[in-house]
Structure 1
Amino acid sequence: MAKGYYISKVVAIVGILFTIAALATIIALSVLYANEKDKNNNVPNLPETTTPTSSENTKGPTSAPSNDPWTKDRLPKTLTPYHYDIRLKPVLKKNDQGLYVFYGKSEAFFTCVAATNLVIIHSKNLNFNTSPKAFLKDSAGNNLAVSKIDEVPQKQYLVVHAANNLEDNKNYSLYTEFVGELADDLAGFYRSEYKEDNETKIIATTQMQAPDARKAFPCFDEPAMKATFNITLVHKPDYVALSNMNPISQNNITEDEEPWTETVFAKTVKMSTYLVAFIVSQFESIGDPGNSTTTGVQIWGRKKAIKDEGQGDYALSITKDILEFFEEHYSIPYPLPKSDQVALPDFNAGAMENWGLVTYRETALLYDPAESSIGNKERVASVIAHELAHQWFGNLVTIRWWNDLWLNEGFASYVQYLGADRAEPTWNIKDLIVLDDVHRVMAVDALASSHPLTSKEEEVNTPAEISQLFDSITYSKGASVIRMLSDFISEDLFKKGLATYLKAFEYNTAVYSDLWTHLQLAVEAAEPSLNLPLPISWIMDTWVLQMGFPVVRIDTGSGFVSQNHFLLDPNSTVNRPSQFNYAWIVPISFSKSGSNENFWLQYPGDVNPNFKTSGNEWLLANINVTGYYRVNYDDGNWNKLISQLESDHLNIPVINRAQIIDDAFNLARAKYINTTRALDTTRYLSNDTEYMPWQAALNSLSFFTQMFDRSEVYGPMRDYLKKQVIPLYQHFERETKNFTEQLESLTDQYNTINSVSTACNYGFPDCVVFAVKTFKGWMESNAIIHPNLRSTIYCTGIAEGGDAEWDFVLQKFTESSNAQESDKLRSALACSREPWVLNRLLEYSLNSSKIRRQDTVSTISSICNNVVGQSLAWDFVRAKWKTMLAQFGGSSFSFGNLIERVTRRFASDFELQELEQFKRDNQEVGFGTAAQALEQAIEKTKANIKWVTENKEPVLSWFKEETKA
C-alpha cells in the first residue's frame, strides 16, 4: 500500500450524539434485516445469538482474566481456511432508514487441524439479526448441530459453538447471511460518491488492509490464512462490477421485483483476505482486457476523467512497461491474467495493491498534462511502480504476520524507484530516494521513541496496533536498509536471491529471515565469491531488530573511526533494550584523492590508516548515501569540505552535497557540531543550481523556520535566505524565459519550483510581483498558469490578497473535477493570513460536503504550515479530538501524521504543558493509531525547547553577520 497524505476536548453533547447515531444505525440495520428474513423460508431456525458473558465484557478490576479463545486478539490455530464463496449485493440508493446497505451470503470452507467445538471467525459491523443466518456444515454440506452463536464485538468475532467437536483433518464450512452498511468511512466495503453531469454517482468499493475484510464478509482475517475466493456481485444492469479476477459469466435476474445483473468472477489464486477487492460503479476504462495469452491492463475511473479528458492515458502508457520490468526483476511471470488500475474519488491511502485490482486515489493514478505538475506525474509513476511491485512481493509471497509489515512496504518503497526508472529513464529518479526516504525517515528514527523495523508477533495484536505500523519507519527506513543491502551485495546477487525466495514461498507466507537465507545462498554461489565480513543475517539483524541508526565519526588525523547511536536529543533516555547494544555492522564507502574505497565497521571503534588525510586533502564518506547512517568528521576535515564547496562545489558529487548539508544540520541538533557550522554549509548555495542540495537545505532550514518564525530571529533569517535564493531565482528566470517554458530535466523542473516558492515565501519583491500579477491574470481573464507553478502562485495570491481572492479560489476548488488541481487549490486556501478565514477552513475540514474525508488531515496540516494557522489548528484538534478519533483514529494508518504536523512548531514550556495536558485529558478516550505519534511529539517538543534555548543567540548573530551590507 502506498502512503497517503493525511485531530482538546469535545463537549459532552457531541459524544452523546455520536453514540445515539451509532445505536440508531445498528437498530435500523436490525429492522432492515428482519424485513428480509422472510425471503429465506427454506432456511431452518437456528439457536439464539448470545452476547459475551459479563466476564468477557467487563474491563473492571473485579473481572478475572479469561482464557477463552474469543477473548484473544489472534485467531486460534485450530482451523485453516482454504476457500470462500461470496455473494454480495450493494444497494446504491438509500433505504427507508436513510442508509446505504449491502446484502451478503458467504460460505467459508476450512480444515480442522486440531479437534475443537468452536468456530471463531472475524466479523465487524455485520448484522446477522437475532436469529442469525449462520450454519455450520460438514464436507458433504449437511448442517451440524450448534448450541449457540456469540457475537464478540470487542474482538470483532463471530463465535459458533458446535454441539460436538469438529474432527481434525476433516473439512467443514460456515455459511452466513448478513447485512452491512455501505458507510463512507473508507474502510472495508464502503461507499464513495462523485458528481458527473450534475448527477451524484455512488460507488461501492473496498479497502481491506489491514484488518477490514471482516467488514465485508465473515472471514479468517489474518494474512497467513490464505485461501481461494469465488466472488459474485449483484448490481444494477447499468453498473459494472470488478474484482480480483476476470468475470466468467453475467446473468440477468430479478430480485425484489427489480432487474439486477449477477456477475460471477473466476476463482482467485490462493491469497490473503486483505488483498480481496471488488467494486461496483459506473466507471469506464481504457486499455486491453487481455486474453488467454496476454495480460490485460486497463485503467478505470470516472467517465469524464477517463474518456473525455484522457487522464488515464499516462498510467496506461507506463503500466505495461513496469509490469514487464518486474517480471524480469523477479524472474517470475506476472501471476494473474489481468491488472486493473482503478482511480477512486474517495480513498484513505495513496493506493492499495489488491491482486489484479489495484485501487488508487485519483491523484495517484490520473494525470492531465494541462492540469498536472511534474510532481503529480512523478507520483503517478512511483505509486504505480510501488503497487505493481507488491503483486509479487507481498501478494505472491506474503508476510506471516503484521510485525513484518516493513518487509512488504519497505521493499516496495525501494523497488518503486527501479520500476519508475524503467518507465521514465531520463528522470534519474533513483537518486531521489535519498531525499524522499533516507533523510526524511532519519528525522523520526533519531528519536528515543522510535521503534525497530520488526518486532515479536505477540507485540502486535489489535487493529490499532497493526495500523500504527503503517508509518515512515516501515516504508522509508525499510526502503533505505534494503537499498543498502542491495548495494553491498550488488543488485545482480540481490535479484538472484530474491528470485529463489519468491519461488520457494509462492502462494505462501514467509518471515523476513527467509529472505536473508536466500540472499545468503546467492552470495555463497557467487563467482568470484563476495567478501562479506559476516553472514547477511548477522549484518542485517543489527539494522532490523533495533531501532535507530549510527553516526559514524571519522578522524582523518589518526584514522580512527567510531560509531554511536544517533539521537536527536543526546540526553533522551532509550527505554527499549537492544541485543546489539545499539551498535551496527556498518558498510562504509569513502572517497579520498579521487579514489573510492570500502570498509566494514564491526566494532564501536577501529583504526584504518586509509582514513588519514594530509595537506589540503579531504575525505568524504557514505558515497551516494547508500548507507543508512550519518557521518561526522574532525574539525579539520569539516573545514576542508566546506572550503571545497565554496571554491568548487562540482568536485563533490551532487548527492553528497545534499548529504553534507543534511548531516551537518542534524549533527548540530544532536550537539555533535556547532549549529553555526551547519549554517556554514549553506553559504555556497548561491552558486549551486542543483535540486538535491537545495532541497536538503530547505528541508533543514524549515526546522529553523518552525522554531523562529515567531521570534526576532526570523527577520535576519528571512533576509539571508532571500539573499541566497535570488541568484537561483534569476538563473531559472533566464533559463525558462521568465518562467514561460519548462526545462527538460526532472530535477531542473523541481528546482525551478523551489526557486519561485522560496523567493516568494521569503519576500523577494520580483517574485511576489510576478506571482500576484500572474494570479490576477488568472482571476480576471482565466490566463493559463503552468501546473508546476500553480501551488506557489495560488498561495501567494491568497496571502497577498483578501476575501475576493480566497473566495475565488474556493469557487474554483468547488468546481474542479481534477483531483490534482483540487489538491493545489485546497492547499492554497490555507495560505490566508486572516485567522477567521483559517478557522472557517478548519470547520470545512470536518464537513464532507465541503472537503472529502480523505483530505481532512492534509487540510489541517496545510493550515499548520501557516504560522498564523498553527495555534488555530492546535485549538481545533483539541476541541474536536473525540470526533476525529471516532472517524479516523481506530484504524487509519495516516492518523498519526496529524499529531506530528500540528505540534511541529512546539518549542516552549507552555506548549509542552499543553501537549501533556492534552494527553492527560484524553487518556481514557485514547489516541488510536496516533498513540506513538503523540509520544514522539512530546519527545520532540522537549528537544526543541532545549535547542532553542541553546541556539537562539548564536543563530541570530550568524544570520545578522551574513546579511550585513
Structure 2
Amino acid sequence: MGKVYYISKNIGIGLLVLGFIALATIIALSIAYDKERAKNKVKPGDGALESTSTPALPTTAFTPKEPWDRYRLPDSIIPVSYNVTLWPRLQPNAQGLYIFTGRSSVIFGCMKETDLIIIHCSKLNLTTTSSGYHVKLNSLGHAPAPTIRSTWLVVKTEYLVVLLQQKLQAGSKYELEAEFVGELADDLQGFYRSEYMQDGVKKVVATSQMQATHARKTFPCFDEPAMKAVFSVTIIHSPDTVALSNGKETDITDSLIDGVRVKVTTFEPTERMSTYVLAFIVCDFAEIQSNQNNLLIRIWAQRKAIADKQGDYALNVTGPILQFYEHYYNTTYPLSKSDQIALPDFHAGAMENWGLVTYRETALLYDPILSSTGNKERVTTVIAHELAHMWFGNLVTLQWWNDLWLNEGFASYVEYLGADYAEPTWNIKDQIILYDVQKVFAVDALASSHPLSRPEDEVNEPAQISEMFNTISYSKGAAVIRMLSEFLTEPVFAQGLSSYLNTFAFGNTVYTDLWVHLQQAVENTPGVQIPHSVDDIMNRWTLQMGFPVVTIDTRTGSITQNHFLLDPDSVVDRPSQFNYTWFVPIKWIKTGVEQQQYWLLQKTDTYHPMRVSGSDWILANTNVSGYFRVNYDLDNWNRLLSILNLNHQELSVINRAQIIDDAFNLARAKMISTTLALKTTKYLFKERDYIPWESFLRNLDYYTLMFDRTEVYGALQAYLKQQIQPLFEYFQTVTENWTRVPTIHTDQYNQINAIGIACNVGVDGCRELIKGWYRQWMDNQDHNPIHPNLKSTVYCTAIAFGGAEEWNFAWRMFKNSTLASEASRLRSAMACTKLPWLLNRYLEYTLDPTKIRKQDATSTIQYIARNVVGMPLAWNFVRSRWSFIFQHYGKGSFSFSSLINGITRRFSTEFELQELEKFKEDNQHVGFGSATLALEQAIEKTTANIKWVTENEAEVLRWFTEESA
C-alpha cells in the first residue's frame, strides 16, 4: 500500500468551523437552487443543472477531440484524500423539494503538467460567479496555485471542468474546494431519499447508492474505481436522527447553525477506497449490535422491525461469515466495524459499501415466526455475498468496469461457501447448479452473448457500465471461478487468493493479476498439475463468449468440442482469437466408478478409456464441476435413461439434474431429438429430491411459455399431472396431511413445488385445500393459518382461481404489511389473477409510487407478464409508456434489462417478432440504456422460438398425448 495522505484532526476541525460559516451561504444558495429548478422544471435523470452564467463556448462547442468529451478521466491528476460535509434536509422546503447542502475538498497529486482539472459532477448546483462555477484551488506546496480562468459543466460526460491560467506542476499537490446543493430525490441514485410510515407518520431516510457512477451526484469527485482515496466525512443532521457512514463515529456534537439545532457527526477517515463503495445515511432507525474479536457488528432497520426481532438472524450469521472469510482469505477484516442496514427503498438487492452495507429489507430482515425458509436462505446468501466483497472488491478493486465479472462472479461463488459455513445442514453448495450454472447457460448460449472480460473501449458510458451488471458477470463468473477452484483444488485456490489479496491490498488490479498468484500457488504445491498455465487456461473462458458442448462417442472413445448455441443457425459475429476452442477439464465416471480427470485441449481427441461396451456407461462432468454441456452417442444416452428408470439414485442428485438440463438444451440446439430429452423426465414420478425436480420444472417452463396458448398445453398438463401426483401424495403423507414441516432444507422447497404444480394441473383436492386456507385467512385477517413456506404458492393459486374479492383482500394485506418479505409475496401473487381488468389496474398501480414503490415497479410488471393473460397486457403497457418508464425507472438502473427479458419470454410468433422490431425502431430516439443488449437478445430468442415451435409442436403434442394416455 502506498503512502496515505489525509487532513489531520486539528485541520479537520478548523475546516469544519469554516464549513459552518459557509453554511449560511449554502442555505441562501439552496433558495437559488429551488428557483432554478422550478424555472427549468428539471426531471430526475436530466443531468447536471446548468447555471445561466456558464460560459457559452465550452458548453456549446462539443468536439470529441477535447478531454472533457471523453468518458474516462485523464491520467494527469489523481486524488489522495477528500473532506466531505453533507447536510440532508428530511423535511421539504417551501417549494416542496427535499435538498441537501454540502461542502467538499479534495487533495490531489499532479502526475503530469496540465492546465485542466476535470472532475466528475452531475445534478449538483455549485455556487456561481460571473466567470462560471465558484471553486477554490489551493496549493499545498511552496508555489502558489494557478489562477482559475473559467469553469463549466459538461452534462453529457458529467464533468466539472476547471481551466487554469497556468499549469499545475508535476509532483505537486493541490486542493480543490466546492460548495453545492443537490436534490434529495426519490430516484434511488446517489444521495437520495427513502420514505416509510411509522405509527401513521411519514418518515424520511437520506441514504445513498453510489455504484456504479452515482457518487458524482453527491459531491464533485474522481468517480472511477481506480481513483482510490481516503475520505473524511462529516454529516450534519437533525437531533432526532442518527448518521452513518463507512467509518466509525468519532465525535457527535450538538450545534446551532443559522438558528437551526443540529447534530454534527464526524467519522474516522476511511481506508484508501473507491468512490463507488462510499455510503452516507441519516435515519431514525433502531439497531442491535454485538462485539466479536473487538469488531463492532450492527444491524439497523425500522424500529418496529428491530423490536420484532427481524434483525436477530442477520446479526447471528454475520459474525460467523466474517470469521469464515478471514480464515478463507487468510486476511483480517480490514475495518473497525461492520454496519448493515435494511432500507425501505433500494434498487439493487444489496450494495457492498465498505463498512456500511445497504440492503433491501427482504434481503436482511427475517421474522422468526412469519418468514419462510426461502426468506432465511436469501438473507444468508446475500449477506455472504456482500461480506465477500469486503475483501474481494473493496480491499482489492478492479481497475475498470470491463472486469466487473471478477468482483461479482467471485462473490457469487464464495457466497455459497460462506452460507454453507453459517448453515452447514442446508447443503447449499449444490444449489449453485440451479441458481447460477444452469441459469447462465441459457444466456451464454445466445449468439448475442459477450465475454466475461470485455475490452475497455466497449465499456465507457454509464449505460454501458450498468449493462455489465448482468447474468454473465454474476453467474458465469461464479461458474467459471468454481470450475477453476475445482481443477486447482480448493486449498490451492485459497492459497493463491490469499497471496493476491495481501499483495494488492488497498489497490487496483486487472483479472490477470489473480491468475499470476494462482499460478504461483500451483507451482508451490507438490502434486498439483495442470496442462497449461492458469493464464492460458482461463483466458479461453474469459476472453471469448459462450461455452463448449463436449460430445463423447463411447463406441470409439472419440471426444469433440464445439461452441454450443441454442439456435444452431444463428451467426456469431464476435471473432475469437481462440477460434472457440477451450481447455476443458472433464471429471467423469465409468459405470459408477470415478476416473482420473481428463483434459480436452483441442477440437477433437480420442481417449480410449472412454470406450465402453455391453452394459457399461459413461457420465462426464460429474457434479457439473466444469462449465460445459455433455452429449453422447445414442447407445450411452439409452444406458443413462435406463439407470434413471431402474435405479435413479445410482447417479448423484446433481448429475440427475444435469442429464435433464443438458438433454433439453441439446434438443433445442437440434443435437439430439426432442423425444430423447422428454424421456429423461419419465422417471420423475419416483424422484423425491428437489434439485432434479427443479431442473425439470425450469426446462419445462420453456415448453409452457411456447405452448400455453396452443392445444399442446392440455396434453402437457395431463402428463405433468401424472408425474407430480406421487410427489404431492408423498409430501401429504410425510407432513401428516400438511401439518408438519419437512426436516430437510431442500425438501421444504420440493414440498412447495409439489403443491404449486399439483394445484396448477388439477390434482384432486389441491385447489380446495389452498382455497380453504386462504378463505380462513380472509375470514380472520388477524390469524393467517398458512405456513410461511407455502404462502407464495397459496396466495398465487387462491388469487388465480378466485375473483376480485380475493385480489382486493390481498391488496389490503399488502398495504398493511409491516414485514417486507410478506409484502413481496403478496405483490407477486396479485399478478396471478386471470381477470384482465384487475391486471390492467395493477399495471397502472406500478407507475404510482404511492401504491408500488419505485424499486418494485419493473419487477411487478414482469410478474404480470409471467401470467399468460397478463403478458399481452404488460407488453402493450410498456410499449405505450416506454418513454416515461425509461426516464423514471431505467436510467442508471442495472436491473432494467430484466424488464425486457421478462415481458418477451413468451414471444414465439412472426407477429410478435415484428412488434418487437417495431418497438426497437420506434424508440431509438428514447433509448434503452442498460436494456440495449437485452433487447437484441429478445429479438434473437424470439427468432429462435419461432423456428423451434414450427419444427417441434407436432412431435411434442404427440409425445405428451401418448405418455399421458
Scaled by the length of structure 1, the TM-score of the pair is: 0.94
Tell me the residue number matched to 2:55: 50
Distance 1:404 1:687 in 2: 45
- 2:79 — aligned with what? 81
Q: CA deviation at 1:26?
A: 11
Deviations 1:84-111 (A, max 9, x none): 0000000001011111000010001100
Residue matched to 2:540: 542
* 1:52/1:151 contact within 8 Å kept: no
Alignment-derived partner of residue 23 in structure 2 = none
2: CA distance, partners of 1:896 / 1:172: 42
Contact 2:559 2:605 in 1 (8 A): yes
Task: Deviation per CA, 1:455-478: give whole Å up to 9, x if none.
Answer: 111211000000000000000000
- 1:419-818 to 2 correspondences below 5 Å: 419-528=418-527, 530-597=528-595, 598-781=597-780, 782-818=783-819
Q: Given the alignment, which residue of 241, 262, 275 partners 1:260?
A: 262
Amino acid at match of 2:853: R
Letter in 1 for 2:302: R
Query: Which residue matches 2:867?
Result: 866
- Indicate if the aligned counterparts of 2:207 and 2:280 stay in contact, CA closer than 8 A: yes
Measured against aligned partners, the alpha-carbon deviations of 1:492-513 in whole angstroms (never above 9, x if no partner) come to 0000000000011000000000
Query: Aligned equivalents of 1:465 and 1:175: distance in 2?
Result: 31
- Following superposition, the deviation at residue 955 of structure 1 comes to 0.1
Q: Please give the secondary structure, in 2, of the residue aligned with 1:897.
A: helix
Equivalent residues of 1:33, 1:179 under 8 A apart: no
Instruction: Supply the AA of the counterpart residue of 2:72.
Output: R
What is the distance in 2 between the residues matched to 1:540 and 1:795?
44
1:52 and 1:844 map into 2 onto residues whose CA distance is 45
Distance 1:604 1:133 in 2: 63
**Gap runs ≥5 in structure 1:** 1-24, 35-45, 58-64
| Residue 151 (1) aligns with residue 150 (2) | no
Do the aligned residues in 1 keep the contact of 2:146 with 2:168 (CA within 8 Å)? Answer: no
Deviation, 1:49, is: 3.5
Letter in 2 for 1:814: K
Question: How far did 1:51 drift?
Answer: 4.8
Is the deviation greater in 892-901 or in 66-75?
66-75
Q: How many Å apart are 1:527 and its aligned residue? A: 1.7
1:21 matched residue in structure 2: none
Deviations 1:101-154 (A, max 9, x none): 000100011000000011100001000144233111111696642110111111
CA deviation vs aligned residue, 1:903-947 (integer Å, no higher than 9, x gap): 000000000000000000011211111000000000000000000
Instruction: Please give the secondary structure, in 2, of the residue aligned with 1:913.
Output: helix
AA partner of residue 114 (structure 1): K
SS in 1 for 2:765: helix
RMSD: 1.6
Match of 1:893? 894
Q: Distance in 2 between matches of 1:476 and 1:272?
A: 24
Provide the residue aligned with 2:320 in structure 1: 321
Equivalent of residue 251 in structure 1, options 239, 250, 253: 253
In the alignment, what sits opposite 2:27?
A: none
1:835 equivalent in alignment to 2:836 = yes
1:236 is the counterpart of 2:235 = no
Secondary structure (helix, strand or coil) at the match of 2:72 reads coil
Q: 2:219 aligns with which of 217, 220, 227?
A: 217
Q: Distance in 2 between matches of 1:923 and 1:509?
A: 37
State the partner residue of 1:194.
196
Deviations 1:841-890 (Å, cap 9, x if unpaired)? Answer: 00101110000011011101110111000000000010111111111222
Q: Which moved more, 1:369-378 or 1:809-818?
A: 369-378
Displacement after TM superposition at 1:163 (Å): 1.3
Q: 1:669 to 1:32 in 2, by over 3 A?
A: closer
Q: Deviations over 1:757-778 (max 9, x none)?
A: 1111222231111101111111
Deviation at 1:173, TM superposition (A): 1.1
Identity %: 54
- C-alpha separation between the residues in 1 aligned to 2:891 and 2:57? 22
783 and 267 in structure 1: CA distance in 2 versus 1, 3 angstrom threshold? closer
Residue 937 of structure 1 aligns with which residue? Answer: 938
How many angstroms does 1:289 deviate by? 6.1
What corresponds to 2:44 in structure 1?
none
1:880 matched residue in structure 2:
881
CA gap of 1:790–1:868, structure 2 versus 1, over 3 A, is same
> Could you say which residue in structure 2 is the equivalent of 1:274?
276
Where does structure 2 lack aligned partners over 5 or more consecutive residues? 1-29, 40-50
Shift of 1:31: 4.7
Amino acid at match of 1:53: P
Distance 1:956 1:327, change over 3 A: same
Q: Given residue 791 of structure 1, which amino acid in structure 2 is its aligned partner?
A: S
- Secondary structure at the aligned position of 2:438 is classed as helix
Q: Deviations over 1:700-720 (max 9, x none)?
A: 000000000000000010011
Alignment partner of 1:830: what SS? Answer: helix
Contact 1:100 1:181 in 2 (8 A): yes
CA shift digits 1:675-708 (9 cap, x unpaired): 1111100000000100000000000000000000
Q: How many positions carry a matched residue from both structures?
A: 918
Distance 2:60 2:863 in 1: 46
What residue in structure 1 maps to residue 70 of structure 2? Answer: 72
Give 1:42's aligned residue.
Answer: none
Aligned position for 1:299? 299
Q: Which amino acid letter does the alignment assign opposite residue 254 of structure 2?
A: N
Contact 1:47 1:149 survives alignment (8 Å): no
The answer to whether the 8 Å contact 2:663/2:672 transfers is yes
Residues 592 and 650 in structure 2, CA contact (< 8 A), matched pair in contact too = no
Using the TM superposition, give the Cα deviation of residue 28 of structure 1 relative to its aligned residue in structure 2, in angstroms: 4.9
2:661–2:695 contact (8 Å) kept in structure 1? yes
Asked if structure 2 preserves the Cα contact closer than 8 Å seen for 1:587 and 1:599, the reply is yes
- CA distance in 2 between counterparts of 1:50 and 1:120 reads 16
Give the C-alpha shift of residue 30 in structure 1. Answer: 5.2
Give the SS at the match of 1:765: coil
User: What letter is aligned with 2:303?
Assistant: K
Higher RCO structure (Cα 8 Å, ≥6 apart): 1
User: 1:287 Cα deviation (Å)?
Assistant: 0.9
The residue aligned with 2:43 is none
**Aligned partner letter, 1:267:** P
Given that residues 189 and 209 in structure 2 are in contact (C-alpha distance below 8 angstroms), is that contact kept between their aligned partners in structure 1? Answer: yes
Aligned to 1:333, the other structure's residue is in SS state: coil
- For residues 523 and 377 of structure 1, the distance between their equivalents in structure 2, rounded to whole angstroms, comes to 37
TM-score (norm 2): 0.94
